[in-house]
Chains A and B, each alone.
Chain A
Amino acid sequence: MKVKLLIITLALALCAPLFADDAQEADDTKPKPTPEEVAAQVESQGEALTETRNVVEILNRLKITGYIQAQFVDDERSRDQLVTGGTRNLDQFSIRRGRVKFTYQATPTSKFVIQPDITTSGVVLKDGYVELTEPWTPWHHTLTAGQFNWPFGYEIMYSSSNREVPERSRVVRTLFPGERDRGLMLSGLGLNERFSYRVAIVNGTGTASSSDLNQKKDLVARVGYNFGALDLGASGYRGQDLVATATQANGVNFDKDRLGVDFQWATPVQGLLLRGEFITGKQAPATGTTRTKSHDVDGWYFYAIQNLGTKHQLVLRMDEYDPDTDVDNNAIRTINPTYIFHWDAHSKVMASYEFIENEANDPDDNVFTLRYQFLF
């Protein structure tokens, strides 16, 4: 039966040109269109093209970008069951980040951006802001309103899709959890695009809470200068955190200050980039504290990134965080060697090992991450 069906299909396929010729003959008998009709058809096609162009121009204003990071993590804490909380296992496959960024450039001076993070843990809003840029000066001062990265240091504003190790350094993760806040920011670029500034007034609560916990607003700013191969930056943060203490259940405002300096240097050694940042400041104590003042903290990170051709990168990051500088032997250090293979312009594979050393008590908590990222 199948063979017969195949033969009939083949026969029909072979005869098709014959039927096509008949159809052509039938077309030839039709009256030919007059020049006026052709002109009308061309005009109508032109109108259709103009309409299509208008639609395409509107669509061109919308840019959709994003990336997904699928990974396997082997965490020593799982082996020794050191993890607190519901599950004691951290060895798993997961989607670390699933970002889709929608940018609508309505006019050259106004922009809308929204970026959710879609993972197996749920959907979280990462960025959501509008930008207005003044067109009158070469600085192009820009006002940003909404939820955006804290303008502090280098690592916070450096996209996770470009970062050469799986996670930000411990000092940044601890002092700037979530890397974002809600507020108003003014930024600009001048002096032959060498000097940049960003200054923002923000809630100070970050994105963990949907509302601001205290009435006071925080100030954060960064200035940077580009010397060509070398970039230097200085940042400051001044604000307060409301913390419920052992004696004040409604909370007390504790100082939350940070100062930082950062650099990035494309060295004369071909393909070698060095990057680093030092942050010092005052951190509010944890909920239920008996303290009356914030304590001093500091930390730093340092990257050495060696490019080998266009496909391979060897990375070594070292970082340290001291959660209370008045207490001895409590710093946490991490050495994080990483290898990255860039498959093509969209895909890269990263293998990374974190040797974590805790001065106070050093459990087995090293982490191996194998990550695949696709970016578009």
Chain B
Amino acid sequence: MKKLLLCIALALPVFAAKPISIKGSDTMVIMNARLAEGFMNANPGTQIQVTGGGSGVGIAALINGTTDIAASSRPIKTSETDKLKARFATTGFAIPIARDGLSIYLNEQNPVKELTLAQIRAIYTGAVTNWKQVGGKDAPIILYSRENSSGTYTYFKDNVLMGKDYAPRAQTLQGTAAVVNAVAKDANGIGYGGAAYAKGIKFAAVKKDDKSPAVLPSLETVRSGQYPISRYLYLYTRVKPAKEMKAFIDWATSPAGQEIVSKVGYFPVK
């Protein structure tokens, strides 16, 4: 009898429910971990594993079947949808989980307080190289950027640089936290990333053009569209979410989940 119980105990993990895996955006990894934690506390039988790597890595994992959910800080590309279609006969399902004001990080000692979109573009494409060209002190601008598998990198390139290439001297760092850390230590540094990462740095108020008001990212300015660089953060699934996956996504978009989104520093979708 004891042997039988032992066999059953050893076999149990085989029959245990498979954890839901979420992989992708480094921007979203803290938020997703908090959401998973909150959901698992409310639903003890469900396991959710959260890993980062970048939006591109998450979507590639969705295409090759190694994750259930891809977290992405940019919309899926047509080339990625084509691969998903060819492999799994689906164009995927996008669930906006939060809104983000893509923020411009400056060192707290930097006298510059606001930048126009054109100035940010000129800085990151290498046309402007000294802070005095945008109203700051006479010092070189040190550019901090993300690696090209990052959704934030792609979104910033498409929507701020308008498709132009980053200046070659931009230093690529892995993860938004690394960008924030670099800018916090570098008086001449500038970086970009999610609004939720704000320790030791200040945000530049962003102007759509010379005549527009300078706006800082906040719930009101992002929701009203006044802040000019806002984006959705998405969860992507291969098929229409069902069972535990649906329960998790429903919970993440419910008031309880959206409260966690706000606590992390992003903005609710509803």
Contacts and interface: CB of A to CB of B under 8 A. Distances in A.
Q: Do A and B come from one complex?
A: yes
B64 A264 contact: no
B165 A135 contact: yes
Interface in B77-104: 77-79, 82, 85-91
A162 B86 contact: yes
Interface in B87-136: 87-91
Interface in A128-154: 135, 138
B165 A228 contact: no
A-B pairs, 9 with minimum CB distance: A273-B89, A310-B65, A193-B78, A345-B64, A266-B89, A345-B66, A266-B85, A108-B165, A271-B89
Given A193-B77, A226-B78, A273 B91 contact: no
Given A229-B85, A229-B91, A310-B88, 8 more contacts: A53-B171, A264-B85, A270-B90, A271-B90, A271-B239, A273-B86, A307-B88, A310-B238
Tell me the dominant secondary structure on chain B's binding face. loop
B164 interface: yes
Which among B77, B90, B91 has the highest number of chain A CB atoms within 10 Å?
B90
Contacts of B87: 162, 307
Interface in A260-274: 264, 266-267, 270-273
Contacts of B64: 345
A62 interface: no
Contacts of B165: 107-108, 135
Contacts of A189: 78
B61 to A, nearest CB: 8
B163 interface: yes
Contacts of A228: 91
Nearest to A375: B64
Contacts of B90: 266, 270-271
Interface string A51-65: 001000100000000
A267 B89 contact: yes
A158 B86 contact: yes
B164 A271 contact: no
B242 to A, nearest CB: 10
Contacts of A271: 88-90, 239
A266 B93 CA distance: 13
A311 interface: yes
Interface of A: 53, 57, 107-108, 135, 138, 158, 162, 189, 193-194, 226, 228-229, 231, 264, 266-267, 270-273, 305, 307, 310-311, 342, 344-345
B22 to A, nearest CB: 15
Interface in B54-89: 61, 64-66, 77-79, 82, 85-89
Given A158-B86, A162-B86, A311-B65, A135 B164 contact: yes
Contacts of B88: 271, 307, 310
B65 A345 contact: yes
A278 B121 CA distance: 48
A125 B172 CA distance: 35
B163 A266 contact: no
Nearest to A192: B78
13 contacts: A107-B165, A135-B165, A193-B77, A194-B78, A226-B78, A229-B85, A264-B85, A264-B86, A270-B89, A273-B85, A310-B238, A344-B66, A345-B61
A310 B89 CA distance: 11
A156 B171 CA distance: 40
Interface of B: 61, 64-66, 77-79, 82, 85-91, 163-165, 171-172, 238-239
A342 B65 contact: yes
A228 B163 CA distance: 24
Contacts of A264: 85-86
Contacts of B85: 229, 231, 264, 266, 273
B163 A270 contact: no
A161 to B, nearest CB: 11
Contacts of B82: 226, 231
Contact of A272 (B78, B89, B164): B89
Nearest to B60: A345
Contacts of B239: 270-271
A141 to B, nearest CB: 13
A56 to B, nearest CB: 10
B23 to A, nearest CB: 12
A74 B163 CA distance: 52
A40 B38 CA distance: 48
A352 to B, nearest CB: 18
B77 A266 contact: no
Nearest to A107: B165
A231 B171 CA distance: 40
Contacts of A342: 65
A155 to B, nearest CB: 12
A266 B90 CA distance: 6
A25 to B, nearest CB: 37
Nearest to B66: A345
B169 to A, nearest CB: 11
Contacts of A229: 85, 91
Contacts of B238: 310
A273 B87 CA distance: 9
B163 A138 contact: yes
Contacts of B65: 310-311, 342, 345
B89 A307 contact: yes
Contacts of A305: 89
Contacts of B163: 135, 138
A173 to B, nearest CB: 20
A311 B91 CA distance: 18
A275 B79 CA distance: 18
A159 to B, nearest CB: 10
Nearest to A109: B165
Nearest to A310: B65
A264 B65 CA distance: 21
A79 B36 CA distance: 59
